[in-house]
Structure 1
Amino acid sequence: MFSTQLQITRNSISYDTLTNLTSKALPLKILTMDSLFTQNVCDEPEDIPITHEPVWILGQKYNAIKELEAIRSDIMSKFWFTYRKGFVPIGGCSSTFTSDKGWGCMLRCGQMVLGQALLRLHLGKDWRWMPDTRDSTYLNILSRFEDKRAAPFSIHQIALTGASEGKEVGQWFGPNTIAQVLKRLVVYDDWSSITIHVALDNTVIVNDILRQCRVDSATTVEVDGEVPLKTPSQWKPLLLLIPLRLGLSEINPVYINGLKTSFQISQSLGVIGGKPNLALYFIGCVGEEVICLDPHTTQKSGSVGKKLDENEIELDATYHCKAASRFPITGMDPSVALCFFCPTEKDFKSLCRSMQEMLITPEKQPLLELCSERLAQWSLAEEAVNDTRASSSLLDFEHVDRQYDTSDEDFELIG
């Protein structure tokens, strides 16, 4: 995965320089008739195609011809968590893990999903990031993902939680692994104010989720971005993760329409997945292609703090991607996790209706099932066994023969 990095490199070269470099390396056939009708790579990044087909970004529909800048602003406002280097060793001073390059891509994708849930909860769906953004709530959210042990959702906490469940630091995570690890971590962060439900066996049990989210009191809003305010509430904001296996070595075509449709649902937080051995965070689709944020860029680690000096301002910008990647949906790895966020019970009920009407009823082979209650033969004991198995082995929906990826070996950005 290096398309984004190539775009960044190309866009930084002037037209004259590019022409000179190209003329030295290739025969002088630059201004052919074909090239007259081909967009020059220096003019625009190739992140979003100029097409009449709708562009969907996490439940928001766009027109690429009329709203290209709005699409890019939306994408840039998402957190872009990538490989980092130079952080405090994971696991203590004797550890050599001061970077997650080559193994942390799925961990970073999990951070992106959770970060987006927090942005949507605390700042709203229409909030947009700008280079001069210093909103205290935004900075508070970002600080929770810093590369240090004390941050509740840091690469350190995620890797060590995985290790406590049988995934050694440095091992590749799959969609179900990251879902189970995040489920454990959010319990310890009252300010973030959410709960995670991982739906197993391709089935969403509605009443299980209602029982999990309905509470007498929940941390729902913050007074000044720092101190959580506990107010009477009947709902704990829900991040719903649904690990799925949609084929053996590649996605079964019967699931493709449903997968594209999932991005159209208002509560969508995208899809955790990737290409074989490369984890990606899919945030939308256009035509037969998916749009994703790619974590395979190595950047320096550091703290944004309160974003007061030039270094902190520059570091904050590294958490936002200027140009997303895209590729055919048929190239996706079949192991995925659908992600949805429901800040209120009304949102959850709306999600259930949308799932039934858009993902289940129209499809010959639906992505998932929606049930009000679990099957009668599922006893509480069996439930406990299944939950333990899912959380401890952390192998469901994953390829056990995956190797560490080195996709950015020759395209590392040194910051």
Structure 2
Amino acid sequence: MCIARRDMDCVYEAYFESNNHEPDDIPKVSVPLWIFGKKYNALDDIAEIRQDITSKLWFTYRKNFVPIGGDNGYVSDKGWGCMLRCGQMVLGQALLFSHLGRDWFWEPGTKDSVYLKILKRFEDARQAPFSIHQIALTGISEGKPVGHWFGPNTVAQVLKRLVKYDEWSSLVIHVALDNTIVINDIKELCRKNDISTKLLRVSWMPLLLVVPLRLGLNEMNPIYISGLKKCFQFKQSLGVIGGKPNLALYFIGCVGNEVIYLDPHTTQRAGSVNNKENESEIEMDLTYHCKYASRMNMSSMDPSIAVCFLCKTEGEFNDLCQLIQDNLILTERQPLFEISVERPTQWVSTPLTSPDAVVAEAPVSSVPGAPKLDSDSDFEIV
């Protein structure tokens, strides 16, 4: 199981602890730094970069929550829930962008009702739509018993199922398998007919697009690094779910040949933010925001990843397809993935409207000879 980097009873003190040394979270280099498609100057924009990082929802291991799976179930996800937490982070960020916009920033005094509504959906409670409880129990249908580690593809499939049951989120998730984005499948999924007026209107449900990939056998193939960097630069970017051996991480940006990431391997107490009406709830809100991100070389990433994008409108999706075509397919020697207008004829057809159509297209493909994407060998259990 994943080994926690540290165990903290309360992150509040660590959040504000003084440090005589400047943290090494942002390199002092002149190359651009990208976070979810937003460009910064790593030398001149330190304060803005850190505000952006801190505004991201940071989901970590928790302890002492209501047992998962009955009275004798798990009361902590320490050691097995890191990929589940990364899935929560990408979905949480999609909801923030969708409902509050990409220019919204969090501060310790934030009491925005929409922000709090989003956060409550991820609390460690059975009734929360995207809680660790819901994700772990839904994972059973994907062949992952509670307490077992998920891969990037599995967590995406589970979230795809859960989001259908939360009408307020107004979001659809599409998992593009076989390294292929099928345009017409996605447009069929996201378009909905509005018959509330005399004129039939077609509206667009915001799309969280997840593309699971295998970019090497046992380590990252350098041929894919250039394309991966470009994905962080697209304005639709929602980062990458992945990690390094033994650790699941959420990559939110890049600078030079390094990726910037949020690490879920901190164990904090479970609790509720509610409406932030007392000191305890205010402190709990702080535990969902990381003051400093971390970084690592792209070559150290595990090759099993899932690239994520958010398209709030059909125009944004069309623009994303063009960006992929121009920057990844036409210019890269080995594209990360492909785009197809129609579903390839060799795929098995599965109705997109079926509530149980979790794997809706085709098996995940990979580099020839690579292990199955979501196998235990993707992230070694120790």
TM-score by length of 1: 0.82
Tell me, in whole angstroms, the C-alpha distance in 1 between the residues paired with 2:88 and 2:228.
21
Partner secondary structure for residue 212 of structure 1: helix
Moved more, 295-304 or 59-68: 59-68
Counterpart in the other structure of 2:263? 294
Counterpart in the other structure of 1:222? none
Tell me, in whole angstroms, the C-alpha distance in 2 between the residues paired with 1:396 and 1:189.
31
Instruction: Call closer, same or farther: CA 1:218–1:342 in 2, change over 3 Å.
Output: farther
Counterpart in the other structure of 1:56? 34
One of 374, 379, 387 as aligned partner of 2:360: 387
Tell me, in whole angstroms, the C-alpha distance in 2 between the residues paired with 1:177 and 1:54.
33
Shift of 1:387: 3.1
One of 51, 60, 65 as aligned partner of 2:43: 65
Shift of 1:45: 1.1
One of 25, 29, 33 as aligned partner of 1:47: 25
One of 355, 361, 374 as aligned partner of 1:398: 374
Q: Which runs of 5+ in 1 are unaligned?
A: 15-41, 220-230, 406-415
Shift of 1:276: 1.1
Tell me, in whole angstroms, the C-alpha distance in 1 between the residues paired with 2:184 and 2:274.
41
- The higher-RCO structure (CA 8 Å, 6+ apart) is 2
Instruction: Call closer, same or farther: CA 1:331–1:64 in 2, change over 3 Å.
Output: same
Instruction: Call closer, same or farther: CA 1:172–1:202 in 2, change over 3 Å.
Output: same
In proportion to residue count, which structure has more strand?
2
Tell me, in whole angstroms, the C-alpha distance in 2 between the residues paired with 1:201 and 1:353.
20
AA partner of residue 60 (structure 1): K
AA partner of residue 360 (structure 2): D
Tell me, in whole angstroms, the C-alpha distance in 2 between the residues paired with 1:387 and 1:346.
24
AA partner of residue 214 (structure 2): R
Tell me, in whole angstroms, the C-alpha distance in 1 between the residues paired with 2:14 and 2:58.
18
Tell me which structure has the larger Cα radius of gyration: 1
AA partner of residue 119 (structure 1): L
Counterpart in the other structure of 1:101? 78
The answer to whether 1:121 aligns with 2:98 is yes
The answer to whether 1:303 aligns with 2:272 is yes
Shift of 1:94: 2.4
Q: Would the aligned equivalents of 1:3 and 1:325 in 2 still touch at CA under 8 Å?
A: no
Tell me, in whole angstroms, the C-alpha distance in 1 between the residues paired with 2:337 and 2:308.
13
Instruction: Call closer, same or farther: CA 1:305–1:386 in 2, change over 3 Å.
Output: closer
Tell me, in whole angstroms, the C-alpha distance in 2 between the residues paired with 1:88 and 1:276.
30
AA partner of residue 177 (structure 2): L
Partner secondary structure for residue 72 of structure 1: helix
Instruction: Call closer, same or farther: CA 1:379–1:80 in 2, change over 3 Å.
Output: closer
Instruction: Call closer, same or farther: CA 1:332–1:169 in 2, change over 3 Å.
Output: same
AA partner of residue 46 (structure 1): D
Shift of 1:398: 2.4
The answer to whether 1:355 aligns with 2:324 is yes
Counterpart in the other structure of 1:36? none
Tell me, in whole angstroms, the C-alpha distance in 1 between the residues paired with 2:89 and 2:195.
24
Tell me, in whole angstroms, the C-alpha distance in 1 between the residues paired with 2:98 and 2:241.
19
Partner secondary structure for residue 40 of structure 2: strand
AA partner of residue 53 (structure 2): I
Q: Which runs of 5+ in 2 are unaligned?
A: 365-370
Instruction: Call closer, same or farther: CA 1:116–1:9 in 2, change over 3 Å.
Output: closer
Instruction: Call closer, same or farther: CA 1:381–1:88 in 2, change over 3 Å.
Output: closer
Deviations 1:184-228 (A, max 9, x none): 000000000000000000000011101111111399xxxxxxxxx
Counterpart in the other structure of 2:190? 213
Shift of 1:233: 4.9
Counterpart in the other structure of 2:367? none
Partner secondary structure for residue 169 of structure 1: coil
Counterpart in the other structure of 1:240? 209
One of 250, 258, 277 as aligned partner of 1:281: 250
The answer to whether 1:76 aligns with 2:54 is yes
TM-score by length of 2: 0.89
AA partner of residue 61 (structure 2): Y
AA partner of residue 122 (structure 1): H
The answer to whether 1:252 aligns with 2:221 is yes
Shift of 1:64: 1.4
Tell me, in whole angstroms, the C-alpha distance in 2 between the residues paired with 1:89 and 1:368.
40
Deviations 1:245-295 (A, max 9, x none): 000110111001001111000000000000012100000000110000000
One of 264, 267, 275 as aligned partner of 2:236: 267
Q: How does 1:225-236 map to 2 (within 5 A)?
A: 233-236=202-205
Q: Would the aligned equivalents of 2:6 and 2:265 in 1 still touch at CA under 8 Å?
A: no
